[in-house]
Structure 1
Amino acid sequence: MTAREYGQYCGVTRALELIGERWALLIVRDLLVGPRRYGELAAGLPRIPSNILAARLKELQAAGIIRRGPRSRIIVYELTPYGRELEPVVLALGAWGFKAMGDPRTDQIVTPDSMTMALRTAFRPDVAADLPPTAYGARFGDAGLLIRVDGPALHVARGDGPVDLSFAAGPDIRRVISGELAPERAIATGVVEVLRGPGDLLDRFASTFHLAA
């Protein structure tokens, strides 16, 4: 590992030495969604310099957090079991950071992997367990996701399929998830555009995915 050392014998210190370098945790975040090729990681983190991405991948491999898993002749990167133990840490950080997000800047984007992890962070399985199974087709900017909720189980994937409600939204969907903006008001003001299906299902979405700001 070439990451910085803090000179302290502490679990938090060691964790920061392993994943505290810039971009490292975002690489882990995207790999929690699924294995990714180098180009897919670069596309999901459009501001990361190529030399930094290569360095972080090498460091994370050396730490046993990720590994190269060959698929035919294509090399993909995936989390090791040790790396997957970071999932509750990443989800907790996402919930904590959500409280300080504020309004989106014009240069900020939503990626499929970042939105997938945001939905996993906001998912309330206890609420969903009492609701009918529901499928949502959601487009967040360029990120198109198929969201299936079946009781306490959540499945999020890229692509299309049969859905009960299809809608489009920008980063301001945060205001719906936080409860700051009521679903019907979000539709009326254009924060959410219903593409197909009954708009009142957005109430179910807001109940199923909720994080207090």
Structure 2
Amino acid sequence: MAPREYGQYDGVTRALELVGERWAMLIVRDLLVGPRRNGELAAGLPRIPSNILAARLKELQAAGVIRRAPRSRVVVYELTDYGRELEPVVLALGAWGSKAMGDPREEQILTPDAMTMSLRTAFRPQVAATLPATAYAARLGPADLLVRVDGPALDVTRGDGPVDLAFTAGPGIHRVLSGELAPDRAIATGVVEVRHGPGDLLGRFARTFHLAA
């Protein structure tokens, strides 16, 4: 299926013609975290039909948003420089959409790439610059993320390493990031489980990462 054309001549219309098809921006979101193989993209978007994924990848390549790149005998998809210019757009959409998220439905999931971008969306470098450097091991649903904050610099990766605070949370972490649920209350009610380190560091985490309600 050819990408939709709206018959109007302006930048917003053209942008939607390039990346406005269903699933396209979620593919861009995941590629902002890093290059991905086809199977990795499919695993991060478990509801996308394989034919739709193939079509979106082809369309985004044709638009100059992504490219195929050989890496160690496998082919990965990565954003072009033009595609990476979408990062502030994706972060702004994430901040805007978070205001209308409400409670998660039972079938909704957290993925590592989605949570990485959520943390990048919520990061407040001006606040982090006033706080001591801190490392967090955040188990958010199936996503195990190593979150390092050093002044206004943020690094979110998968894997292990020395941390000041390790905690586990599900979708309810959004209530903490939005300020709806105080960090100490989140721990007391089991929304957040502290696995290592002083629990009061969750308050520092909540100050560093914030999504407007």
Q: TM range, normalised to the smaller chain? A: over 0.9
- SS of 1:139's partner is strand
1:191-210 maps to which residues of 2 (within 5 A)?
A: 191-210=191-210
| Alignment correspondent of 1:6 | 6
Shift of 1:211: 1.3
**AA aligned opposite 1:171:** P
| Alignment correspondent of 1:17 | 17
| Alignment correspondent of 1:179 | 179
**AA aligned opposite 1:108:** Q
**AA aligned opposite 2:13:** T
| Alignment correspondent of 1:148 | 148
Q: Which blocks of at least 5 consecutive residues in structure 2 are unaligned?
A: none
1:128-167: per-residue Cα shift (whole Å, max 9, x none)?
Answer: 0010000000001111000000000000001111100000
Q: How many residues align?
A: 213
- SS of 1:36's partner is coil
TM-score by length of 1: 0.99
Counterpart Cα distance in 2 of 1:149 and 1:10: 40
Counterpart Cα distance in 1 of 2:140 and 2:92: 22
1:74-113 maps to which residues of 2 (within 5 A)?
A: 74-113=74-113
Counterpart Cα distance in 1 of 2:72 and 2:123: 35
1:69 paired with 2:69, answer: yes
**AA aligned opposite 1:21:** E
| Alignment correspondent of 1:139 | 139
| Alignment correspondent of 1:39 | 39
Moved over 2 A (4+): none
| Alignment correspondent of 1:166 | 166
Give the % identical residues.
83
Counterpart Cα distance in 1 of 2:118 and 2:78: 20
Shift of 1:2: 2.1
Counterpart Cα distance in 2 of 1:16 and 1:114: 21
Counterpart Cα distance in 1 of 2:211 and 2:116: 15
What's the C-alpha RMSD, in Å, of the aligned pairs? 0.7
Shift of 1:113: 0.2
Counterpart Cα distance in 1 of 2:69 and 2:143: 26
Q: Which blocks of at least 5 consecutive residues in structure 1 are unaligned?
A: none
Shift of 1:72: 2.1
**AA aligned opposite 1:149:** V
1:4-29: per-residue Cα shift (whole Å, max 9, x none)?
Answer: 10000011000000000000000000
- SS of 2:70's partner is strand
